[in-house]
Amino acid sequence: MPRYKLTVEYDGTPFHGWQRQANGLSVQECLERAIKRFCGDKVTLHAAGRTDAGVHALGQIVHVDLSRDHPAHRVQNAINFHLQPAPIVVLGVDEVDKRFHARFSATARHYRYRILNRTARPTIARDRIWHVPVALDAAAMHEAAQVLVGRHDFTTFRAAQCQSTSPVKTLDFLRVDRRGEEIEVNVSARSFLHHQVRAMTGTLKLVGEGKWRIADVAGALAARDRSHAGATAPARGLYFVRVDYD
């Protein structure tokens, strides 16, 4: 059975997250249906990351085993045809070694959080960005964010329903930049806790508003208690950007 690696882009707005579930349509279910329509195979897809309801992806990585060989371009075109009109598209397909695993072979995952920082609400991007009308100091947010870089116990930024066996993670990169009316939070690590990026962003927003200082972020991290952090930022501003592999 050949194994294929799929690079997938999707708008998470209408979905109940990546993972197949009983209470609503998921990205995984849409893709698995499209593959069945293409080649008749009933498959289970494996993804690099399980995005929540409303979270988007620019470069989600998925692998799937099919019952027989197909040219990669045919796999891509056929799946995209059967995905219509869902806001999901396969950007690329590669046949890979059976040792490749979309989740377990990943060496780094990269996320981006978008904040629209202006008084006027968004229209076109309303489901794809967090609107914060109060002026934010992006430079102060970036400075405070560096407290979180490195290996730490991130219990403070962990959702109650997180299934990770350990709250200890290594954050490789965390940067906050202003680009006109938009503020971007870019973050990289091998793996993340459930809601970690959104919880960190919600906390850094308090710094941007001038309500918190660097010491408050450090204190929240050290507390190892979710109640010590800021509110979890909305799902609509989060993007799963890409995955690195050796």
pLDDT per position as a tens digit, 4-45: 999 999 999 999 999 998 889 999 999 999 999 999 999 999
Residue 142's pLDDT is what? Answer: 98
Please indicate whether residue 52 is annotated as part of the active site: yes
pLDDT digits (tens, 9 = 90+) for 220-235: 999 999 999 999 999 9
Domains, the chain, ranges and CATH?
3-96 (3.30.70.580), 106-245 (3.30.70.660)
Residue 98's pLDDT is what? Answer: 95
Average pLDDT over residues 122-150: 97
Tell me: pLDDT of 163 over 90.
Answer: no
pLDDT digits (tens, 9 = 90+) for 204-219: 999 999 999 999 999 9
**Beta strand pairing call for 130-131 and 106-116:** parallel
Cβ neighbours of residue 26 under 8 Å, at least 6 residues apart?
Answer: 15, 16, 17, 18, 19, 20
pLDDT grade, residue 165 (50/70/90)?
confident
Residue 21's pLDDT is what? Answer: 86
User: Percent of the chain at pLDDT above 90?
Assistant: 95
Q: Which of 52, 127, 172, 244 is catalytic?
A: 52
Of 170, 33, 160, whose CA–CA distance to 109 is shortest?
Answer: 170
Of 214, 246, 192, 222, whose CA–CA distance to 55 is shortest?
Answer: 192
pLDDT digits (tens, 9 = 90+) for 175-203: 999 999 999 999 999 999 999 999 999 99
Average pLDDT over residues 149-161: 94
Contact predicate 45/227, CB 8 Å: no
Residue 164's pLDDT is what? Answer: 84
User: Percent of the chain at pLDDT above 70?
Assistant: 100
The two three-digit tokens of residue 35, written as one number: 């593959």
pLDDT digits (tens, 9 = 90+) for 70-94: 999 999 999 999 999 999 999 999 9
Residue 170's pLDDT is what? Answer: 97
pLDDT grade, residue 161 (50/70/90)?
confident
